[in-house]
């Protein structure tokens, strides 16, 4: 294993944050400008890889767009090549899909919209990315979305840049023409973006296989499970967008990223688009890397049992046979992946309930039967409409099991759990004029009710805000501080 250097040129290395097939990735400090950067160090270079690395530097350095990661410098020192890049405090889309999928439709559409805007810019400069995949999309805790890694990008004036003996691109996210080795157009990137959107909305890739050859064969043949059969809850207009992106023939796809952007903007209400950074930041705040997405185990298992060929057979059956097949599928789900939950309350008060990220609904006690839930960990928030008391519960659902949860009496619902994060960290916190120390802050003994929170950090504007803590509810806040003029 390569030893982590203390300095690369004038940049102070803070930590190693990743490693790819081509480079080591470091988080570093640029002392002259007092900013955090990312450094990619090329490992085991040969002539073709160095050419690819330099190409990424030259292409990316010419970009100036909010949805593309900025390149600050390209240096050669101690017989090694380094790329100095903008640091994004967040997660890549691969991590988000693995832990939070299926992503709510409006969130997935907002992320896709940001990627499409980045592609609109690069395509206008005759640049085709050719490697659109989740690990090449960064989502910041502030809600910004950025496309990275133009190492195999190609412009119309350059010769094809390949690495001998290797497939250029990632098989599961290739367009049919890319998998065939044909000449590419910007529509190839839009196909790959359609795969990303499909995966965000379902938690699985449209083209799966036991090996790369099988995946490529499925892409070339254009065979994939219609998205509504994997997740029927996706809105019709968004399903149409995914379907058009994934058209096998480039002529039937969107003519440009601009056309795709127009459809996404028509789907996303302007009120949501105007608050996109805040909405994405709030969604990302729910990320728990110790809690994998339950859909990862469920959907691939179903697809494996009900392949495309079987679905075509089902389509050709009579209505009665189709209903029987659906009943069989539902029975399989009930036995293997779905559990049931009942909540028992102390009285017949009305409660407003929200399960995970779904819409709220209102029911009355004392016995509240929840909708069937897929296996995995779920979060339920209850609001007593009589006294406005809140309770949040986190619990596991097991397949073919019936879980009964006894709601605590009001007398036991007396303290709150509070978590406060800031970007940047180490801000001084005061709650009702009492010092809490520095962010991040966690406490499980905060009194319910309204509180005044004061946040201070040198070089940033002081933030004063009122928050409300509810009995027996944990709350998590993320505040992005604004630099002073």
CB within 8 Å of 182: residues ≥ 6 apart:
none
DSSP of 119-144 = HHHHHHTTEE-----GGGEEEETTS-
CB within 8 Å of 467: residues ≥ 6 apart:
450, 451, 453, 475, 477
Using DSSP's 3-state secondary structure scheme, residue 190 falls into helix
How far, CA to CA in Å, does 225 sit from each of 55, 206, 218, 231? 37, 6, 11, 10
Q: Torsion angle of alpha carbons 176, 178, 183, 189, nearest 10°?
A: 90
281 in Cβ contact with 142 (< 8 Å): yes
Distance CA(452)–CA(439), nearest Å, equals 16
How far, CA to CA in Å, does 250 sit from each of 109, 168, 340? 22, 19, 45
Q: Is 182 a catalytic residue?
A: no
DSSP state, 412? G
Token digits for 99? Answer: 């832990």
DSSP H stretches of helix in 140-287: 176-180, 186-202, 212-221, 227-230, 236-245, 257-267, 270-274, 276-284
Token digits for 271? Answer: 């009120």
> Which sign does the torsion angle of CA 30, 33, 35, 38 carry?
negative
382 in Cβ contact with 394 (< 8 Å): no
Task: Give the residues across from 316 on adjacent strands.
Answer: none
196 in Cβ contact with 206 (< 8 Å): no
Helix, strand, coil tally for the chain in percent (to 5): 35, 30, 35
Token digits for 194? Answer: 């359609």
Q: At what angle do helices 186-202 and 105-124 cross, to 10 degrees?
A: 170
Q: Torsion angle of alpha carbons 363, 366, 372, 378, nearest 10°?
A: 90
DSSP of 315-369 = HHS-HHHHHHHHHHHHHHHHHHTEEEEEEE-SS--EEEEEETTSPPEEEESSEEE
Tell me which of 92, 131, 189, 263 is the catalytic residue. 131
Q: Tell me the catalytic residues.
A: 131
């Amino acid at each position: 294993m390569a030893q982590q250097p203390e300095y690369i040129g004038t940049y102070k290395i803070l930590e190693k944050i990743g490693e790819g097939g081509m480079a080591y990735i470091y988080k570093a400090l640029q002392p002259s400008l007092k900013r955090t950067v990312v450094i990619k160090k090329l490992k085991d270079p040969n002539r073709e890889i160095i050419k690819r690395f330099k190409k990424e530097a030259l292409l990316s350095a010419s970009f100036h767009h909010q949805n593309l990661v900025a390149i600050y410098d390209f240096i050669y020192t101690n017989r090694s090549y380094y790329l100095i890049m903008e640091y994004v405090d967040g997660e890549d889309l691969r991590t988000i899909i693995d832990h939070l999928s299926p992503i709510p439709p409006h969130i997935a559409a907002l992320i896709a919209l940001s990627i499409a805007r980045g592609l609109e810019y690069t395509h206008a400069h005759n640049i085709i990315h050719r490697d659109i995949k989740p690990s090449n999309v960064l989502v910041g805790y502030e809600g910004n979305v950025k496309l990275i890694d133009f190492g195999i990008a190609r412009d119309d004036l350059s010769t094809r840049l390949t690495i001998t003996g290797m497939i250029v691109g990632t098989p599961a996210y290739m367009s049919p023409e890319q998998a065939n080795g044909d000449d590419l157009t910007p529509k190839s990137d839009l196909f790959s973006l359609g795969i990303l959107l499909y995966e965000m909305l379902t938690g699985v890739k449209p083209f799966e296989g036991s090996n790369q050859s099988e995946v490529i064969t499925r892409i070339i043949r254009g065979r994939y499970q219609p998205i509504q059969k994997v997740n029927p809850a996706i809105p019709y207009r968004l399903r149409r967008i995914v379907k058009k992106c994934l058209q096998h023939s480039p002529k039937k796809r969107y003519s440009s990223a601009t056309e795709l952007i127009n459809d996404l903007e028509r789907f996303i209400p302007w009120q949501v688009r105007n608050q996109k950074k805040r909405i994405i930041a709030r969604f990302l705040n729910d990320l728990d890397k110790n809690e994998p997405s339950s859909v990862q185990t469920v959907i691939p298992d179903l697809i494996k049992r009900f392949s495309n060929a079987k679905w075509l057979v089902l389509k050709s059956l009579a209505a009665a046979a189709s209903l029987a097949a659906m009943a069989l599928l539902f029975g399989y789900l009930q036995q293997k992946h779905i559990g049931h939950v009942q909540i028992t309350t102390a009285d017949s008060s009305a409660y407003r309930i929200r399960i995970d990220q779904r819409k709220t609904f209102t029911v009355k006690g004392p016995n509240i039967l929840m909708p069937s839930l897929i296996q995995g960990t779920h979060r339920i928030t209850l609001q007593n409409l009589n006294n406005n008391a809140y309770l949040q519960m986190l619990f596991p659902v097991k397949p073919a099991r019936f879980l009964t949860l006894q709601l605590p009496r009001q007398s036991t619902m007396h303290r709150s759990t509070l978590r406060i994060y800031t970007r940047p960290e180490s801000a001084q916190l005061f709650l009702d004029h009492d010092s809490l120390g520095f962010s991040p802050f966690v406490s499980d003994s905060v009194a319910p009710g309204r509180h005044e929170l004061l946040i201070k950090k040198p070089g940033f504007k002081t933030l004063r805000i009122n928050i409300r803590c509810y009995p027996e509810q944990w709350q998590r806040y993320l505040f992005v501080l604004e630099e002073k003029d």
